[in-house]
Structure 1
């Protein structure tokens, strides 16, 4: 699985795009409001991962993510059917009749030695009925989280948004 270390890597994936997808807003919110880097360089959760208003347990039935020994718990964020504490800028384009408006997720694994320390962070594309696109699943490095934390939301979105080509027809007279 590819690890994304730079904004350019994230941009190359097209994660969270195009509209009505919301993954870029979700990732920015997560980096700013949910993760704290402590003095030892650990990524600490600012929320209780077992609080269903924050995250849901992710069972990894499809083996989308690595399986570790001892088993590592995974938690999923971003399901807009249960928006919990997510802010309006993440949830604003949600339409229950449009599958892609609820397609982006962040999945975190918890360190075995501490239940509030993130071991790994992933972004993925939920394709419905419990399925995820393994070709659109990436690990997010701590360095990329730190880059995002130094950015304003609009600056971050401008930096990673892929410009969409419009189909323009030329009319000849």
Structure 2
């Protein structure tokens, strides 16, 4: 499924609830890591250099002579000859270059604070596809979606505060607005846990 609208991203529950870092990671990616030119997504640095903690994601058993159905079943992302890379592991070498607002809630004793990932398909010097997913354990991912270029451009044109506010569930947005109209400060909110559906791949 491709997410084209902010409301679709919000409803996917990617990066929520706190201390998950996916929304901040996605904002950094759209705001600072990619530029858009003539319909192309150009990365600030090539993911193959392991900048910002990017590393190769082996989506499938890449064997040119073996195109069996099990490769398609086991692939998390569409099977292509182009390489995939993922970013978001705050333990990865280079991840210290991510901005502090992405890393601020990380606690190695809290797995949910390091479960979100962005995956990209690299075609030469530009990004051909962008996906979001959540890392459940070494081999399992869940709630994987493609992010459209239009949605990334929309995020790029927003402030972080505005983006995070729009990612709050509608009932929370309404509740917070009611509190503000009543003269209260912005309230904290509690979000429901995402479902445990996952997709395991052979790495």
Compute the TM-score of the two structures, normalised by the length of structure 2.
0.74
Structure 1 residue ranges, 4+ long, deviating more than 4 angstroms after superposition: 164-167
How far apart, CA to CA, are the structure 2 residues paired with 1:95 and 1:3? 31
Mark the runs of 5 or more structure 2 residues left unpaired by the alignment.
Answer: 61-73, 173-188, 193-203
How far 1:105 sits from its partner (Å)?
Answer: 0.3
- Higher helix fraction (1 or 2): 2
Hey, what does 1:171 align to over in structure 2?
A: none
Determine whether 1:157 maps to 2:155: no
Map 1:52-67 onto structure 2 (within 5 A).
52-54=50-52, 55-61=54-60, 62-67=74-79
Q: Is the 8 A contact 1:78 1:104 kept in 2?
A: yes
Hey, what does 1:75 align to over in structure 2?
A: 85
Aligned residues: 158
How far 1:161 sits from its partner (Å)?
Answer: 2.3
Mark the runs of 5 or more structure 1 residues left unpaired by the alignment.
Answer: 168-173
CA-atom RMSD, angstroms?
Answer: 1.6
Q: Is the 8 A contact 2:16 2:191 kept in 1?
A: no
Compute the TM-score of the two structures, normalised by the length of structure 1.
0.86
How far 1:43 sits from its partner (Å)?
Answer: 0.6
How far 1:84 sits from its partner (Å)?
Answer: 3.5
Q: CA offsets, 1:87-134, max 9 Å, x none?
A: 1100111111111110100000012xxx2211000000100123211x
Rg larger in structure: 2
